[in-house]
C-alpha cells in the first residue's frame, strides 16, 4: 500500500484538535465522585437492599452522552463491515479503522448503562464511494464526539476526545485525495 503524505489541512486540523484533547487529558476525576469511575455520582456502595431504593452510580447525562457516542461508533463499525464485505479489496485499508472502532465501543460500554442502537448501513455503489462515505461519517462523528466531550468532564470527556481525535485522523486518511494546485 503506498504511503500517503499528510496534507497541510490534515496537519492543521489535527493541530487544532490536539490542544483540546490535551486540555481534557488534564482533567481530574472528582475523588468524591467515585475515585475514577466514569461519570460516577455516588462512589459508595448502596446499603439498601431493594432496587427501587438504590441511588444511581452513573450520572444520567454521562450515560446519555456515551450511549449517543456508542451509537455513532456502532454505525461506523457497520459501515466498515458492509464496505469490506462488498469490496474485499478495501479490507486491508479499512482494517485499522474497524479495529479502533471495536476498541472504542468496548471502552464506551464499560460505563454502566451505556447502550448503542444499531441501524442498518447502506452499501455504497463503488469502493471509492464507500471510502468517501466512511470519511464523511468519520468527520461528522468526530465533530459530534468533540462537542459532547466539551459538555462533560473527567474520564468520559477524555474518552470522547480521544475517540474524536481518532475519527478525525481516520476521516482524513480515508478521504479521497484532492488534486493539487499548480501554484
Domain boundaries, the chain: 58-175
Residue 14 has a pLDDT of 63
- CATH of region 58-175: 1.20.1260
Q: What is the pLDDT of residue 17?
A: 61
Against a cut of 0.95, is the pTM above it? no
In this predicted model, what pLDDT tens digit does every residue of 108-153 receive, in sequence order? 999 999 999 878 878 789 999 999 999 999 999 999 999 999 999 9
Give CA–CA dist 29/158, Å, rounded: 10
Specify which residues 58 forms β-bridges with: 40
> Is the distance from CB of 133 to CB of 124 less than 8 angstroms?
yes
Higher-confidence residue of 68 and 39: namely 68
- pLDDT at residue 51 greater than cutoff 80: no
The residues facing 40 across adjacent strands are 58
What values do phi and psi take at 94, rounded to 5? Answer: -100, -5
Find the distance separating the first CA and the last CA of the chain, reported in whole Å.
28
Amino acid at each position: 500500500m503506498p504511503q500517503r503524505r499528510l496534507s497541510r489541512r490534515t496537519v492543521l486540523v489535527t493541530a487544532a484538535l490536539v490542544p483540546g484533547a490535551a486540555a481534557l487529558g488534564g482533567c481530574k476525576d472528582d475523588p468524591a465522585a467515585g475515585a475514577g469511575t466514569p461519570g460516577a455520582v455516588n462512589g459508595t456502595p448502596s446499603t439498601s437492599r431493594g432496587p427501587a431504593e438504590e441511588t444511581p452510580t452513573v450520572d444520567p447525562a454521562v450515560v446519555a452522552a456515551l450511549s449517543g457516542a456508542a451509537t455513532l461508533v456502532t454505525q461506523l463499525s457497520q459501515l466498515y463491515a458492509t464496505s469490506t464485505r462488498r469490496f474485499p479489496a478495501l479490507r486491508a485499508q479499512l482494517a485499522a479503522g474497524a479495529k479502533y472502532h471495536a476498541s472504542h465501543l468496548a471502552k464506551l460500554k464499560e460505563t454502566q448503562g451505556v447502550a448503542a442502537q444499531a441501524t442498518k448501513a447502506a452499501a455504497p455503489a463503488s469502493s471509492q464511494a464507500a471510502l468517501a462515505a466512511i470519511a464523511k461519517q468519520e468527520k461528522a462523528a468526530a465533530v459530534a464526539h468533540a462537542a459532547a466531550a466539551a459538555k462533560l468532564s473527567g474520564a468520559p470527556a477524555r474518552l470522547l476526545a480521544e475517540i474524536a481525535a481518532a475519527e478525525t485522523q481516520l476521516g482524513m486518511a480515508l478521504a479521497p485525495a484532492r488534486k493539487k494546485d499548480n501554484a
